[in-house]
Chain A
Amino acid sequence: MKKILFFLSILMVTISSCVTSLQPLVTYNSAIADNRIEGTWQQDGQEYIVQNVFISDFYKKNKKDLEKNRKENNGQLSEKDKKDSILFSRSYIITYTKNGMQYLLFGSMIKLNGRLFMNFTPVDMISTDSTSTITEINFDNRLNSYTIARVQFGTVNTMKLDFIDGGYLHDQIKAGRMKIKNETDELYGTFLITASTRELQQFLEKYGNDSRFFNKENSVTLNRKS
């Protein structure tokens, strides 16, 4: 639970009232690439850089480890590496800096019922403040959790991210009107969706356009900078 709360606290720095899932919405065999997302985006003065994983600095930094793994495996890719490779080729690293910390998120997209969805998971936090005692928090050995948002590209270089309203979702579960596997932490008032990837996809296929799950408070519109 500590690990989960740790991730939640990080995500909640940027997005309030979001939904966190233990399982990813997107897997290697369902991920799609959409180049429209690549580039630099901004919102209220905050910049977000989106790059394909393979051309990101994060990948370049970790490439040595990946190649080392490959050498240990007689130059062959393991099954996991193959799947990761497919997923990385269709996924993105989102980088932004806030309060002296650089945040790196890993994002993958999926098309469900004609709509684009993206799940995010934090991969790295690097201090940009030379006086800070914490220089980097790496997520390699941590249990991943995912935040899900609906992605809508506007006609004039805009991108809207509609995060699922966690408050509404939680209320429905508490009222016994929503059937989805979850774990609630009564102490901190947080909850985690534990449904499988398939169930998450089915839910969004069915309710991905339901306005009750997406509201203005949980929406972010980004403008393309370059």
Chain B
Amino acid sequence: MKKKYWELNHPILRIIQHLAFWVLSFFVFLYLFKTGAKPEKIDYVYTILFQLTLLPAVYINIELLLPTLGNRKRILFYLLSLITIIILFAWINYNFFDNWSAKVFPDYFFISYFTFREIVLFFIVYIIITMLLKLSKSWFLVSWLQKELLEKEKQKTVVELKALKAQINPHFFFNTLNSIYSMALDKDDRLPGTVLQLSDLMRYFLYESKDNFVPLEKELAVANDYIALQKIRSGEQLSIEIIKQGELNGQKIAPLLLITFLENAFKHGAKGSSGNTFIKLDIKVEKNKLNFTVENNKGLIDEVNTGDHNGLGLENVKRQLELLYPGKHLLNIKDEQDRFVVALQLSL
């Protein structure tokens, strides 16, 4: 960034750019003003002097008038000042060549070869050219800054996503380990298998979820493991209904997105309810679309109200959706008296 800034704004470079412009302009004028087949000494003198009257008008405009008056509020003052500057220096140009030059350069004979109106036109053209150059340079600078800003935003998004994932994982593991702890206390025979399933989940969370996107197939398999884990924990009281439609065909999805909704359903419903507990899962996969609905009954004592991380998982996933699926997702959450429904529509 510093290098680019140097390239665009270093004083030496600016001087070189300005010199290059005036040297180029000098040769254009020289060949425009010459009277014979090739430029003579007088043509060089005349062209230099002509440019010298243009210089102050151009620099007063781009260095003083534009920065101070070049905005909508002061546009009238700006235009008036600009017209004054143009007329003043065109008048100086005209009179210099027509009168004063005989005293300053007594051995050179020239007149003003252009009418006052033509000189004013010269000045207007030069003011416009230099203004456009100045504005285009500013445009390049702004465009570069915007690009830099976008890059920073992107970096910020990556960092934010990492932070969100870091928040989801401990949250999930904290809840699962609590379940395993309960199973250990109950000396449940299913504990070794459960630990193994947890181990698989951890592998997925720790290693495979580092990418922004993973195969949808993998995410659904992990969701199955997660449900199985929770089913063991909840026992016979929990009724789980899963409807799957569509064909998996290499679609990809942000990792842990579906798990977070499942985790939320189990927290609200399964744990906290006292009878008639259910979770309904509807997964519909199309070519580039995923419809995911999870519905659960609400418990009398909701687990999420008891901890320090109330609703953290859902908030995280909402932010994750904004970052990874901007304009490509539709999240509808219904929080009714006895049930909770989350419907997610995702363009893959």
Contacts and interface: CB of A to CB of B under 8 A. Distances in A.
Do A and B associate with each other? yes
Interface of A: 172, 175-182, 198-199, 202-203, 205-207, 210
How extensive is the interface on chain B, given as a class? 10 to 19
A199 to B, nearest CB: 7
Contacts of B46: 179
B110 A179 contact: yes
A116 to B, nearest CB: 20
Nearest to A204: B111
B112 A202 contact: yes
A176 B41 contact: yes
A206 B111 contact: yes
B308 interface: no
Nearest to B46: A179
A202 B111 contact: yes
B111 A181 contact: no
A205 B36 CA distance: 23
Contacts of A180: 35, 109
A181 B35 contact: yes
Nearest to A196: B113
A179 B98 contact: no
A179 B102 contact: no
* In the A-B complex, the 10 residue pairs with the closest CB atoms: A176-B41, A176-B40, A178-B109, A179-B110, A202-B111, A179-B42, A176-B42, A181-B35, A177-B108, A203-B111
Contacts of B63: none
Contacts of B186: none
B112 A179 contact: no
22 contacts: A176-B41, A176-B43, A177-B42, A177-B108, A178-B42, A178-B109, A179-B35, A179-B43, A179-B46, A180-B35, A180-B109, A182-B36, A199-B113, A202-B98, A202-B111, A202-B112, A203-B109, A205-B98, A206-B102, A207-B102, A207-B109, A210-B102
Contact of B110 (A175, A178, A205, A210): A178
Contact of A206 (B36, B41, B98, B113): B98
A177 B109 contact: yes
Given A178-B42, A203-B111, 19 more contacts: A172-B109, A176-B40, A176-B41, A176-B43, A177-B42, A177-B107, A178-B108, A179-B35, A179-B40, A179-B42, A179-B43, A179-B46, A179-B109, A179-B113, A181-B35, A182-B36, A198-B115, A202-B98, A206-B98
Contacts of A172: 109
A177 B111 contact: no
A178 B115 CA distance: 19
A193 to B, nearest CB: 11
A167 to B, nearest CB: 15
Contacts of B42: 176-179
A210 B106 CA distance: 10
B275 to A, nearest CB: 108
Contacts of B109: 172, 177-180, 203, 207
Contacts of A199: 111, 113
Contacts of B113: 179, 199
